[in-house]
Structure 1
């Protein structure tokens, strides 16, 4: 179509004889079914050849057992921005979807993680719901799960529910009610825990995840008392965000850390030993970004020797 000097390509909406009337199954995307933003109140019939079903932004409150049984080849199921209620989701709704890769259930009204999810899922999105508790069995056996989105829920304690997720590399639990860091899986690389109520970090918690590169704990209630010595001194960590907490000292970090955010704490002194125990030509911090603004120190509190230890830092924000 030629509109205002711009060619715009639209899927050819040639009706599929096997496509539900309330959806579109374009011929040039033969395995996709588009049912988004249709004011639907239920999941329509899904033909057997469909692999990608888009049901976001509707009024769906429940999913009955058997609704996907004819479409066992589904790879993506997108149910974001509906009104899904945990009590209205059948126990075995997703059981037969053994090829399911991505399941989007974010922005709904779920109070728990659905049971019997296929272990083929790699990307599970449950953010912006009302989940307060995660049962251990709800994620049991999900050996292929790599990314888990749980931000903006009401979770107070996750315990060891993630420990068995052997492929999990990204865990997002921002904007919950956590009072402590959950037990982390071994292969985790990215951890997002901002905007919680975390007051302390257990000793050795990050050594359990030797591949962890990004840890973000901004906007919590961390104090010096809640941080064991060297808890952040882990070699693979590249970025550490501890801003907007209640720290009075700079914690000891690994020499390999590149980005450290400590703004808006109560830090009263600049401790060079937090970055370098000794300084020589080959033994110095890899830090490139250091933010210390909105604390109780100023530029005059930074010793001249910092230039030798922090030789890769372009400037220090104070």
Structure 2
């Protein structure tokens, strides 16, 4: 009987040892589920499809468009049946503009290596309304181009190599974007009879005071936005249309604003003069006391005090100046007592930025008592 018990005990021990060795030899289960193989995602580039060539002759190959149902579709472009009036030739590494079909209203040529714009491709493109030439290498646009597209409304030619504003612009034009070029000249009459233009963007060029005459903007009766930021201006531009709504003059060398500069403006709502050379000496007391003004930006200047402004102003940027104190009684458009007794007199200021000055919290009580609509104060 004892022998039988010993036999079964030995058998049990043998089976347990076999199970242990079997566990050791068995491959371990992965602790994580292996990822499935996915097709890599390549975001559509915002610039050229391939790296910018280092040399003028080092161009990447032209990228051909897909087959098209339109027989007049250039081989380098995309002609979508869903948008028969659009010709999409952006990001194709093309050097010259292909022949534009008659049916084209919207022409996209941005992000290529085009060096000049001639009239030949536009011979039949008389219906074009929108041309985007941004981010090329354009140094010349022939005057005759605009004779072929007399009803052009939008011309975008920013980020190129133009040295002057193109001549012969059509009178139909509503928006003209020429930012980030090398423009240092505006030919006389460049904006002649352009009464439909609402937006003129000359940001980041090389314009000086001598390039902006009294009559440069004379004919721009419908102009609403003028962007002359990041140029070499030392004075406020002359002859700016008085119907303007937005005036951007950031990053120039302006140190003075004439006393009555804004007096005749009827709709001016946004003024940006950040990063100039403005000091208290260059700002007459009430120069910004304009009833239509809603947003005033004077950041990164040399101001030592808060300028006077209208009770209608809603946003005031004064950060990174040399302001050492702020007095609510002095800058309040009305007396504190009047504001406290009549809710209709409470100024509209909602946002005030004062960081980067020589100020320390707390905000003076008279500032809070006057500007009771303030939602945010940065100090």
Query: In 2, distance between residues paired with 1:258 and 1:180?
Result: 26
Aligned partner of 1:197 in structure 2 is: 253
Aligned partner of 2:201 in structure 1 is: 149
Aligned partner of 2:79 in structure 1 is: 25
The 5-angstrom pairing of residues 214-229 of structure 1 reads 214-229=270-285
- How much does 1:143 deviate? 0.7
2:320 corresponds to 1:259: no
Q: How many residues align?
A: 307
The 5-angstrom pairing of residues 12-91 of structure 1 reads 14-86=68-140, 89-91=141-143
Normalising to structure 1: TM-score of the pair?
A: 0.90
Contact 2:182 2:205 in 1 (8 A): yes
Contact 1:33 1:52 in 2 (8 A): yes
Aligned partner of 1:8 in structure 2 is: none
2:332 corresponds to 1:275: yes
Can you list the C-alpha shifts for 1:89-129, whole angstroms capped at 9, x where unaligned? 22221123122111111110000110111111111110110
Contact 1:197 1:221 in 2 (8 A): yes
Normalising to structure 2: TM-score of the pair?
A: 0.76
Query: In 2, distance between residues paired with 1:202 and 1:40?
Result: 48
For the aligned residue pairs, the C-alpha RMSD in angstroms reads: 2.0
Unaligned runs of 5+ in 1: 5-10
Query: In 1, distance between residues paired with 2:196 and 2:314?
Result: 30
Of the three residues 371, 374, 378, the one matched with 1:310 is: 371
Contact 2:124 2:148 in 1 (8 A): no
- 2:176 aligned counterpart, secondary structure: strand
- 2:296 aligned counterpart, secondary structure: strand
Structure 1 or 2: more helix by fraction:
2
RCO higher in structure (CA 8 A, sep ≥6): 1
Contact 1:13 1:27 in 2 (8 A): no
Query: In 1, distance between residues paired with 2:173 and 2:117?
Result: 18
Contact 1:12 1:27 in 2 (8 A): no
The range that moved more, 14-23 or 111-120, is 14-23
- 1:25 aligned counterpart, secondary structure: coil
Query: In 2, distance between residues paired with 1:67 and 1:110?
Result: 20
Aligned partner of 2:236 in structure 1 is: 181
Question: Taking structure 1 as reference, are residues 64 and 12 closer, same or farther at Cα in structure 2, changes over 3 Å only?
Answer: closer
- 2:112 aligned counterpart, secondary structure: coil
2:184 corresponds to 1:132: yes
- How much does 1:38 deviate? 1.7
Highest CA radius of gyration, 1 or 2? 2
Contact 2:146 2:170 in 1 (8 A): yes
